[in-house]
């Protein structure tokens, strides 16, 4: 008899579980060897606590009442729960603090290979280490993790979460229009972006600046191109990116990092450097992260922070694709 | 810029760029604009039965327009061309929309039987209209945004049939010339939006094959302007 399970969830059977476990252990070993202690937090939290972290994340797909009538929610990532954990249990600890996790989170996505509604994330959070040094450390751990997973072709995109926010402030675009423009940018809907910007009464020249900036991605030279196109408005973001990139070069870990000014993560708590991870064998993003210097303050501890999370199942898919590619086309 | 872009040495993407080409009404315009952009389409024009047309720089893959977002989202095709109607109907498919190619122009409309007040009457007396369509999400969104309640009925074949024999009060459909409507004694009641062909890219390919995709985008933009 077949008993159904909810859409977007799945059972994992021994062959796959064995491989996932191996991958998971390899990742945790990298984290632990670099001083990141593993933590676990409850899968369910009070909705208002998650909402404190980020209004939109808190729009959790799965919310329900407990026996006392309190509103609970399934977490949609681990960054907000760890911010809560740091504020509650490590308020007096001497920073920096280093934590890692492998945990399931929940989002209402369209289920497909590598993208379930319940999914496992492996990642780290570095609390109390400011940019650029903190960002560089996180990128280093990320690279070591990708190496441990055997994804030697994986690439890390490095962008700045504030670039377009500053640009729109300069253009005096506020409120709903601003949100809708940022959403177009995050989706890379360039046709819609142009239309929205024009509709907001922004001059053609500035519209072109905005679109052109969002398409800049590559090596260091991108930062100079950005200054040429954007002028003073982008100075802060490009200087900050330049500083991070330089620090990465100094540590010898810039090789697989690509500057990408069009990068926008859809989570609201990011500030400054943001990261995304790609592998040519997979059409989906493997994971991402960045700085969230303002997040801890919302929980009453004012500490800069950065981290990343990889989707364990997607890394596994990429690993398999890379393996079969190395073995040659069948 | 001839400087080696960071990351590219490591991320050697495999083979030529795969471009999803829509069959059907958009095919002719698509091949023309590709020709103008210096993409070789001779093989597609010659041999219309094959599905994959390998090229040195770009491999063309032909498919139904509504499958293009599926292939591009998954990265099975790196880039593709399809109608805005398809992109709107499948708005939850995560693809980057890079360029309005400005051909294949048509309108999404609400149409009803000529000289017949069924639409208005159902709305007024029954509180909701029954609308047959191939685009249930576009239709639902449109009526919601205009504060009206509808029952959308998804049909796959000739939509014009639905109001003629009483399945629906009206239809939401794409019209280019309006001839099919006229032949079936239907008329446009409301214009919903205008659609053209769009150039889309997979999110990861857009990052990892930046140079090739930017180059193709520029060539297509040029071809479109002409």
pLDDT tens profile A79-94: 999 999 999 999 999 9
**Best interface-test mutation with A: which of B87, B204, B205, B213 has the largest number of A CBs within 10 A?**
B204
Entry pTM: 0.88
pLDDT above 60: residue A76: yes
**Strands ordered across the beta sheet of B186-195:** B150-154, B129-133, B170-175, B106-113, B186-195
In A17-56, the residues whose Cβ lies within 8 Å of chain B are none
Mean pLDDT value across residues A133-150: 96
Domain count, chain B: 2
Contacts of B86 (CB under 8 A, 6+ apart): B65, B66, B68, B69
Q: Does A325 touch chain B (CB under 8 A)?
A: yes
Do B97 and B24 share a structural domain?
yes
Do B131 and B86 share a structural domain?
no
Give Cα separations from B30 to A136, A265, B83, B101, B102 (angstroms). Answer: 45, 33, 11, 9, 11
Greatest C-alpha distance within chain B:
69
Q: How many residues appear in chain B?
A: 226
Provide, as residue numbers in chain B, all residues whose Cβ is less than 8 Å from the Cβ of A280.
11-14, 204, 208
Query: CA A281, A282, A287 angle in degrees (round to 5)?
Result: 125
Q: Does the beta-carbon distance from B11 to A155 stay under 8 Å?
A: yes
Inside any domain, residue B8: no
* pLDDT for position A154: 95
Inside any domain, residue B64: yes
Mean pLDDT value across residues A301-320: 95
Other residues' Cβ atoms within 10 Å of the Cβ of residue B149: 11
* Long-range residue pairs from A262-266, CB within 8 A, at least 24 positions apart, any chain: A262/A159, A262/A185, A262/A188, A262/A213, A262/A214, A262/A215, A262/A216, A262/A217, A263/A157, A263/A158, A263/A159, A263/A160, A264/A159, A264/A161, A264/A164, A264/A182, A264/A185, A264/A186, A265/A161, A265/A186, A265/A290, A266/A56, A266/A186
Q: Supply the range of the domain harboring residue B116.
A: 106-194
Inside any domain, residue B6: no
* pLDDT for position A151: 95
Do B114 and B89 share a structural domain?
no
Residue B55 contacts residue B123 (beta carbons within 8 Å): no
d(CA A210, CA A216): 10
* pLDDT for position A56: 57
Residue B101 contacts residue B196 (beta carbons within 8 Å): yes
**Best interface-test mutation with A: which of B198, B205, B207, B213 has the largest number of A CBs within 10 A?**
B207
ipTM: 0.85
Q: How many percent of chain A have pLDDT more than 90?
A: 67
Residue of chain A whose alpha carbon sits nearest to that of B209: A280
* pLDDT for position B52: 94
Give the mean pLDDT of chain B. Answer: 91
Inside any domain, residue B12: no
* pLDDT for position B13: 63
pLDDT tens profile A157-180: 999 988 888 888 888 888 888 888
Q: Does A258 touch chain B (CB under 8 A)?
A: yes
Residue B114 sits in a domain of what CATH number?
Answer: 3.40.190.10
Q: Does A231 touch chain B (CB under 8 A)?
A: no
pLDDT tens profile B9-56: 444 567 899 999 999 999 999 999 999 999 999 999 997 789 999 999
Question: Could you tell me the residue ranges of all domains in chain A?
Answer: 1-160+265-330, 162-254
C-alpha torsion sign, points A68, A73, A74, A77: negative
pLDDT tens profile A170-213: 888 888 888 888 888 888 899 999 999 988 888 888 889 999 99
Q: How many percent of chain A have pLDDT more than 70?
A: 97
d(CA B123, CA B126): 6
Do B200 and B101 share a structural domain?
yes
Mean pLDDT value across residues A318-330: 82
Residue A110 contacts residue B92 (beta carbons within 8 Å): yes
Cβ-nearest to A153 among B11, B75, B207: B11
Do B112 and B63 share a structural domain?
no
Q: How confident is the model at residue A265 (pLDDT cuts 50, 70, 90)?
A: confident
**Best interface-test mutation with B: which of A113, A146, A191 has the largest number of B CBs within 10 A?**
A191
- CATH superfamily of the A1-160+265-330 domain: Bira Bifunctional Protein; Domain 2 (3.30.930.10)
E-state strands within A4-96? 37-38, 44-46, 63-65, 71-74
Residue A105 contacts residue A78 (beta carbons within 8 Å): yes
Do B81 and B142 share a structural domain?
no
Residue B58 contacts residue B16 (beta carbons within 8 Å): yes
Inside any domain, residue B2: no
* pLDDT averaged per 10 residues in sequence order, chain B, 226 residues: 41 80 95 96 87 93 96 96 97 93 96 90 90 96 94 94 94 93 95 96 94 96 85
Q: Does the beta-carbon distance from A153 to B12 stay under 8 Å?
A: yes
What proportions of chain B, in percent to the nearest 5, are helix, strand and coil?
35, 30, 35
Of B27, B74, B29, nearest to B53 by C-alpha is: B27
Do B79 and B41 share a structural domain?
yes
* pLDDT for position A55: 62
Cβ-nearest to A190 among B5, B98, B204: B98
Greatest C-alpha distance within chain A:
66
Inside any domain, residue B148: yes
* pLDDT for position B54: 93
Inside any domain, residue B11: no
Tokens 């441990």 belong to which residue? Answer: A148
pLDDT above 80: residue A270: yes
pLDDT above 70: residue A135: yes
Q: Does A291 touch chain B (CB under 8 A)?
A: no
Residue B101 contacts residue B197 (beta carbons within 8 Å): yes
- Tokens at B160, concatenated: 């014009």
d(CA A90, CA A194): 46
* pLDDT for position B225: 79
Q: Does the beta-carbon distance from B11 to A283 stay under 8 Å?
A: no
Inside any domain, residue B119: yes
E-state strands within A56-195? 63-65, 71-74, 97-106, 118-127, 155-160
């Amino acid at each position: 008899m077949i008993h159904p399970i909810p859409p977007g969830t799945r059972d994992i059977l021994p062959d796959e579980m064995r491989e996932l476990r191996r991958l998971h252990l390899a990742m945790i070993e990298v984290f632990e060897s670099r001083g990141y202690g593993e933590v676990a937090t409850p899968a369910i939290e009070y909705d208002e606590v998650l909402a404190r972290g980020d209004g939109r994340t808190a729009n959790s797909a799965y919310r329900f009442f407990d026996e006392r009538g309190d509103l609970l929610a399934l977490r949609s990532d681990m960054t907000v729960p760890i911010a809560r954990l740091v504020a509650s249990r490590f308020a007096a600890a001497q920073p920096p603090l280093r934590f890692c996790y492998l945990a399931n989170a929940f989002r209402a996505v369209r289920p497909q290979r590598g993208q379930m509604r319940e999914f496992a994330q492996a990642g780290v959070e570095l609390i109390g280490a400011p940019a650029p040094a903190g960002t560089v450390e996180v990128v280093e751990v990320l690279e070591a993790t990708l190496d441990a997973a055997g994804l030697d072709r994986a690439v890390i995109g490095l962008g700045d979460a504030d670039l377009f926010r500053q640009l729109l402030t300069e253009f005096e675009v506020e409120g709903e229009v601003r949100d809708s423009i940022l959403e177009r940018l995050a989706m890379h809907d360039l046709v819609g972006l142009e239309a929205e910007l024009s509709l907001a009464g922004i001059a053609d020249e500035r519209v072109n600046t905005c679109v052109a900036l969002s398409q800049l991605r590559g090596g260091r030279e991108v930062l100079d191109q950005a200054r040429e196109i954007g002028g003073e408005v982008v100075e802060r973001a490009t200087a900050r990116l330049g500083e991070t990139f330089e620090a990465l070069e100094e540590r010898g870990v810039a090789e697989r990092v690509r500057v990408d000014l069009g990068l926008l993560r859809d989570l609201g708590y990011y500030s400054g450097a943001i990261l995304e991870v790609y592998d040519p064998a997979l059409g989906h993003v493997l994971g991402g992260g960045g700085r969230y210097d303002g997040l801890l303050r919302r929980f009453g501890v004012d500490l800069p922070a950065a981290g990343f999370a990889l989707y364990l199942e997607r890394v596994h898919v990429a690993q398999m694709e890379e393996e079969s590619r190395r073995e040659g086309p069948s | 810029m001839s400087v080696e872009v960071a990351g590219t040495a490591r991320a050697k993407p495999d083979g030529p760029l795969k471009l999803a080409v829509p069959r059907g009404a958009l095919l002719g315009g698509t091949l023309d604009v590709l020709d103008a952009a210096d993409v070789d389409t001779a093989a597609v024009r010659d041999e219309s039965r094959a599905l994959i047309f390998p090229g040195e720089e770009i491999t063309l893959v032909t498919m139904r327009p509504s499958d293009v977002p599926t292939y591009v989202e998954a990265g099975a095709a790196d880039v593709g061309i399809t109608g805005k109607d398809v992109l709107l109907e499948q708005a939850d498919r995560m693809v980057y929309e890079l360029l309005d190619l400005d051909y294949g122009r048509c309108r999404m409309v609400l149409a009803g039987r000529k000289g017949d007040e069924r639409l208005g009457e159902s709305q007024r007396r029954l509180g909701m209209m029954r609308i047959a369509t191939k685009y249930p999400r576009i239709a639902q969104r449109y009526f919601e945004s205009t504060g009206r309640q509808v029952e959308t009925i998804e049909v796959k074949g000739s939509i014009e049939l639905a109001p003629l024999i009483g399945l629906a009060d009206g239809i939401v459909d794409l019209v280019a010339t309006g001839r099919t409507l006229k032949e079936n004694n239907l008329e446009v009641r409301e214009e919903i939006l205008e659609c053209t062909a769009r150039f889309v890219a997979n999110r990861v390919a857009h990052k990892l094959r930046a140079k090739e995709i930017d180059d193709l985008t520029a060539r297509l933009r040029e071809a479109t302007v002409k």
